[in-house]
Amino acid sequence: MQKSVRQRWQYGKIYQFFWDVNVAGRRDPSLNEMLRKLQPGILINDRGPSPGDYSTPERVVPEGNEFRKPT
């Protein structure tokens, strides 16, 4: 996986990476470390192999974070 990511991330600036997989069986924090090394300043969500920069709740909106207008 690291080889594939490394190859794809050489095409230009990437601002955000969104994990959307079950990585419970493969917790490898070096993946996020590599992403940050290749793309300094990138934002990574919390569904990956290590804590990310922001939370992405599943099927629930945390209290106080309701949308007040259509998005």
Instruction: Determine the pLDDT at residue 6.
Output: 82
Q: Please count the structural domains in the chain.
A: 1
Is 19 part of a structural domain of the chain?
A: yes
What pLDDT, on the 0 to 100 scale, is given for residue 42?
92
- pTM (two decimals): 0.69
pLDDT of residue 27: 72
User: Residues 25, 50: contact at Cβ < 8 Å?
Assistant: no
12 domain residue, yes or no: yes
Tell me the pLDDT tens digit for each residue of 3-56. Answer: 888 888 788 899 999 988 766 666 788 889 999 999 999 999 988 888 889 888
Whether the CB-CB separation of 29 and 49 falls below 8 Å is answered with yes
- State which residues form the domain around 23: 2-44
Cα-Cα end-to-end distance for the chain: 34
Does residue 9 sit within a domain? yes
pLDDT of residue 21: 74
Does some domain include residue 29? yes
Cα–Cα dist 4/69, whole Å: 39
64 inside domain: no
Residue 7 lies in a domain: yes
